Structure 1
Amino acid sequence: MGSIEVHILGQKYIIKGDAPPEYIQQIANFVDEKLKEVYKISPDITPLKAAILTALNIADELHRVRHEYNSISQGIKNIENKADSIIRLFD
């Protein structure tokens, strides 16, 4: 398990984990950018509220991506089932 120093909103954090340091840095940069977006819209917001709004925004993105993935996955299953039905017609 390694550790890496990252900066989020100018604050230094030491993150420990099994993931490669480049990945951890990439995730930290993502969080930093999302927090900056919240502060751009609401510059006087408290850090706790900014963190909560950022978490909600990230959770919303994740939920939407999962929903899209599930829809695409279901569509692929439907196509595979139809293809199997058509193939059976030729057997």
Structure 2
Amino acid sequence: MPKADVFILGKKYTLKGESTREQILQLASYLDERIREVCSNYPGISPDKAMLITLFNMAEELHHLKDEQEILSRQIKEKTDLLTDMFD
């Protein structure tokens, strides 16, 4: 299992995961960037609160993307069914 030392808000963490080392570093960099955005929008916010807000925002985005995927999957199925009916 690959591991990598990453920095989130300047604090070092050692992470292990199913992803490659490069992917771990890339994801950590993305997370750090998102947390720093929250910090810049809320000056004086504690790191814990910034991380919590970031996690909530990312969870909300994931939920929205899952909803979109479900809608698109339904549309694809409907169109596939229409095409199948045309050739039956």
Q: What is the aligned partner in structure 2 of residue 65 from structure 1? A: 65
Extract unaligned runs of 5+ from structure 1: none
Where does residue 87 of structure 1 map in the other structure? 87
The structural deviation recorded for 1:2 is 2.6
Alpha-carbon offset, residue 8 of structure 1: 1.1
TM-score normalised by structure 1 residue count: 0.90
1:85, CA displacement in angstroms?
Answer: 1.0
Identity among equivalent positions (%) equals: 36
Q: CA deviation at 1:81?
A: 0.6
State the distance in 2 between where 1:2 and 1:39 align. Answer: 30
- The reply to whether residue 10 of structure 1 matches residue 39 of structure 2 is no
Q: Which residue of 1 aligns with 2:50?
A: 50
Bigger radius of gyration:
1
1:74 aligns with 74
Q: Partner of 2:19: helix, strand, or coil?
A: coil
Match of 2:28 in 1: 28
The unaligned stretches of length 5 or more in structure 2 are none
